[in-house]
């Protein structure tokens, strides 16, 4: 996905927030790297598994996995531990690999990446 490539798949960014929408259809990660801030929203989420959340969560990479690959099959085995929130079956699976801390596997329909500055004077 081009939006992830534009951020180098968030390699070495810090993940500091995880937000699930009220209707439980979107999971949003808040990330920062020095004076840059971004959010990655997984829209149409149905299942996810979060492991190893810690005080310091450094992302190694965020990848959308291709069906039929060993990583996709492994992600499906991880997702089998989670219950579906609806009967819908989202079309994509992503995995957040960590250098340190949280790892996430998520089933979703679409991805939204947004960036914002954290420079002095900007709202956070």
Query: Do residues 103 and 95 touch, judged by C-beta distance below 8 A?
Result: yes
Kindly write down the DSSP assignment for every residue of 29-93, as one continuous string: EEEEETTEEEEEEEET--EEEEE---S--EEEEEEEEPTTSHHHHHHHHHHTTSPPSSS---SEE
Mean pLDDT value across the chain: 90
For the segment 43-61, the average pLDDT, to the nearest whole number, is 94
Burial of 96 (0-12, 13-18, 19+ CB in 10 A): buried
Residue 123, token pair as written in the block = 């709202």
Spans of all domains in the chain: 2-117
Per-residue pLDDT for 101 more than 60?
A: yes
Indicate the pTM of the whole model. Answer: 0.88
For the segment 26-47, the average pLDDT, to the nearest whole number, is 95
Using 50, 70 and 90 to split pLDDT, how confident is the model at 121?
very low
């Amino acid at each position: 996905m081009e939006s992830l490539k534009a951020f180098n798949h968030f390699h070495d960014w810090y993940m500091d927030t995880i937000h699930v929408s009220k209707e439980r259809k979107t999971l949003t990660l808040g990330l920062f790297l020095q004076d840059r801030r971004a959010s990655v929203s997984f829209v149409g989420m149905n299942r996810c598994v979060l492991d190893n959340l810690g005080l310091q969560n450094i992302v190694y990479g965020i990848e959308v996995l291709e069906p039929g690959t060993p990583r996709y099959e492994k992600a499906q085995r991880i997702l089998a531990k989670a219950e579906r929130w609806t009967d819908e079956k989202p079309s994509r699976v992503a995995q957040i690999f960590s250098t340190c801390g949280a790892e996430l596997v998520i089933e979703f329909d679409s991805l939204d990446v947004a960036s914002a500055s954290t420079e002095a004077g900007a709202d956070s």
